[in-house]
Chain A
């Protein structure tokens, strides 16, 4: 199992490196370094309120969405198209175990990477004198919430890549549905009483579905 997790990590290394670079660029620029000002929509300078300024949220969401989807497809559709599922699934492990390890690795990488710019930028803003406006850690809540919702998108992408190829449109259904869920859940008002349990439920359902599809589909 550990070998499998290592293999997954190694395989998503490329995508992760690119995402990390983007996240770091975002954090560095938001901290006022102004190195990446040439990137469109990049938050430049320290004018706005940390984490509540539109450019930061927009840029963070954009990187995260692309990263989550790419990760999901890399771990499922790639193996499908290369035929390596035939190699992997013959290893003496239960299929649920194989898919569970894949998902846990991917989701772990996603969450850790997305947390990085928040922690970095937050820690910087928390030091007095760095930023013109006052800063409270509670201001990061909405960004954290978005981060927590990212695996939804990742699972949707994984499932889309995992389902046997039929019509392109229906194949992408899980991904589209998960984007809608993500949009809805990031706006829902009662987060702790409604949004949070609902998200957990969706995680369980999606994971179960990935395992079920992995078990029942034909690797023809």
Chain B
């Protein structure tokens, strides 16, 4: 009932490729939801479908209780959307951009926007086209906040910002969160950002939402499962929680977020000779995941798997002593 965002079997094809696959997403009001995924995993397309920029091939979307197909301008005014790369009219000055944007919202808080820009020492006379990426991101966020939106949908807002600017931006986001009752859905490729800011995390892989859990659970439930086959390892079918899947020689190294009975059954169904489960630092898992599947040179295979085994043992040791 009190969901800010709700999708049902949301699916989108680009050409013959399924970019988003039967996405069921429920984000209760007041939640900060971080959507993680590699480039091309379908995050951006999902957010564009939510805001009506892309039409789904099937499935439905409700934003603030209203169907997106027939979203009224009044409801749209309660939603902020920051598209990837912060597109703004580059020929406008900041003052013109504020005047233009706020003119659509009768309740827009212009002094608030000016205060924010003042905070970042941005002159209202500066042309948007002359701003740095970080400044542009701040202007874009300030403009989005002017009508005091209940729901914010941010498409990788820190993409391309350097570390300091990214931190400033995150701090702005924290301030938004502190104003009660706001729902934020943001996509990101930076795990650390999501962990800092989000209450709940989703991970999209090839258009499928594989992980959807509270942020603290996300981090402590990562497991690496090494299945030894002794021969050419079979393909692993997609399974909830399966983050990545590498083939190393005659074994498969799988990374799961949450390794429960269902995941265990999926691995055992492949009848490997031996299964080994180790805890894993999510950051490492995620770096590997975002980098894509590993394809080591055949001669290095043995060498690499030795290193992998060693580091995994060590990480258990650290856990035990803590």
Contacts and interface: CB of A to CB of B under 8 A. Distances in A.
Given A10-B91, A220-B45, A87 B74 contact: no
A219 B54 CA distance: 6
Contacts of B83: 83, 86-87, 90
A136 interface: no
B98 to A, nearest CB: 11
B87 A86 contact: yes
Contacts of A2: 103
Given A84-B89, A93-B73, A218-B55, 8 more contacts: A11-B89, A83-B83, A87-B88, A90-B53, A91-B76, A92-B73, A94-B73, A219-B54
A39 interface: no
A85 to B, nearest CB: 8
A216 B56 CA distance: 11
A91 B104 CA distance: 7
Contacts of A216: 55
Given A7-B89, A84-B87, A84-B88, A220 B48 contact: yes
7 contacts: A3-B99, A90-B79, A90-B81, A92-B74, A92-B77, A92-B105, A220-B14
Interface size class, chain A: 20 to 34
Interface of B: 14, 45, 48, 51-55, 73-74, 76-77, 79, 81, 83-85, 87-92, 99-101, 103-105
B142 to A, nearest CB: 14
Residue from the set B55, B83, B88 with the largest chain A CB neighbour count within 10 Å: B83
Nearest to A90: B81
A220 B91 contact: no
Contact of A86 (B53, B55, B76, B101): B53
Name the residue among B14, B74, B88, B103 with the largest chain A CB count within 10 angstroms: B103
A216 B79 CA distance: 21
Contacts of B88: 84, 87
A3 B100 contact: yes
A14 to B, nearest CB: 9
A82 B92 CA distance: 14
Contacts of B51: 90
In the A-B complex, the 10 residue pairs with the smallest Cβ-Cβ separation, listed nearest first, are A86-B83, A3-B103, A83-B87, A92-B77, A92-B73, A219-B53, A218-B54, A92-B76, A90-B81, A91-B104
Interface in A1-23: 2-3, 6-7, 10-11
A89 interface: yes
B136 to A, nearest CB: 12
A218 B53 CA distance: 6
A90 B105 CA distance: 12
B283 to A, nearest CB: 31
A16 to B, nearest CB: 14
A78 B88 CA distance: 12
Interface string A40-81: 000000000000000000000000000000000000000000
Nearest to B56: A218
A83 B85 contact: yes
A90 B76 contact: yes
Which of A84, A91, A94 has the most CB atoms of chain B within a 10 A radius of its CB? A91
Contacts of A90: 51, 53, 76, 79, 81, 83
Contact of B87 (A7, A82, A91): A82
A103 to B, nearest CB: 19
Interface string A203-220: 000000000000010111
Contacts of A89: 52-53
A219 B104 contact: no
Contacts of A84: 87-89
Nearest to B104: A91
A3 B104 contact: yes
Given A3-B103, A3-B104, A220 B81 contact: no
Contacts of B77: 92
Contacts of B87: 82-84, 86-87
Contacts of B52: 89
